[in-house]
């Protein structure tokens, strides 16, 4: 023991005292974890939205550039497969736009756009806007429309949606009324539904183009087969997606959906002619969120 340093009474108490001081200065563990969890949830929602916004902007620019380059080259038409730029959809629909029906559809559209005297809506760069804005792996809900609005400046490639500054169509007015009754959402001054699309709501029309002031003018040209393939791909390769089918036309698509894997909500169409026959009071927006939350999927913020 000779040569070992001698310890005083203070030596024995110094180290534990320092440890005790450190413990007292730290916040309670459970409180720290709860705060971190709350921040993470909020941050995650914002991060998801910002990522979706970036993807949408990138895809929109890619399509716009392709159309501009085509016009500059003297053609003015871009092949359909070149306008579907969202990689997740290109993969899951691989080969679909090379099928004979799609080739015929492309030839029809090229003739309509390049040789026809009637404007075609939406503009080419927005034809696949629904798919280019809502990636396949992010789809949480699907709202199916029939064909694009056929007035100037209305169609933007998202079902029921119109760009900022365009008068809100009557069907969308009724959608907003139901949202207000269902979730207490304030009624927006515009009809732009991009915020829904970026949160995973696929706003899909069955027909993706139309002639100026001629409703259903591009029906039965091949679009229905393509958008049926879109619905079928979701049904087969995803699970837990909520399909909002408003009106008989949309409800006919239920044949494409595996109800053992997905959720189908049906009601009357929100148009002025039928909204009072079952659309009002359907509570599809709150029901969608309840379904998503039960599956542990983040809900949709329907407020615009």
Positions marked catalytic: 147
CB atoms within 10 A of CB 46: 10
Length of the chain: 304
CB 158 within 8 A of CB 133: yes
Phi, psi of 200 (to 5 degrees): 105, 15
Tokens of 252: 């006919």
8-state DSSP, 164: T
Q: For residues 201 and 301, what is the distance between their CA atoms, to the nearest angstrom?
A: 11
Q: For residues 268 and 135, what is the distance between their CA atoms, to the nearest angstrom?
A: 28
């Amino acid at each position: 023991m000779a040569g070992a340093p001698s310890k005083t009474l203070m030596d024995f108490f110094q180290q534990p005292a320092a440890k005790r001081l450190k413990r007292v200065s730290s916040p309670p563990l459970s409180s720290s974890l709860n705060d971190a969890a709350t921040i993470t949830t909020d941050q995650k929602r914002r991060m998801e939205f910002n990522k979706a916004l970036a993807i949408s902007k990138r895809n929109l620019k890619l399509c716009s550039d392709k159309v501009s380059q085509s016009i500059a080259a003297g053609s003015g038409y871009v092949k359909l497969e070149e306008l579907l730029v969202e990689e997740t959809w290109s993969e899951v629909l691989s080969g679909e736009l090379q099928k004979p029906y799609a080739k015929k559809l492309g030839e029809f559209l090229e003739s309509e756009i390049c040789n026809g005297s009637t404007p075609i809506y939406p503009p080419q760069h927005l034809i696949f806007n629904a798919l280019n804005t809502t990636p396949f792996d992010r789809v949480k809900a699907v709202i199916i429309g029939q064909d694009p609005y056929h007035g100037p400046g209305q169609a933007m490639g998202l079902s029921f949606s119109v760009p900022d500054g365009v008068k809100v169509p009557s069907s969308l007015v009724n959608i907003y009324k139901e949202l207000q009754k269902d979730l207490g959402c304030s009624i927006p001054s515009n009809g732009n539904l991009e915020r829904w699309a970026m949160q995973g709501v696929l706003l899909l029309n069955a027909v993706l183009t139309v002639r100026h002031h001629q409703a259903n003018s591009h029906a039965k040209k091949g679009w229905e087969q393509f958008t049926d393939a879109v619905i079928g791909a979701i049904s087969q390769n995803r699970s837990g997606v909520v399909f909002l089918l408003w009106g008989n036309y949309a409800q006919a698509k239920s044949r494409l959906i595996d109800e053992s894997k997905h959720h189908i909500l049906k009601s009357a169409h929100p148009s002025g002619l039928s909204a009072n026959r079952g659309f009002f009071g359907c509570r599809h927006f709150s029901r969608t969120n309840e379904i998503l939350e039960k599956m542990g999927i983040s809900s949709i913020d329907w407020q615009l």
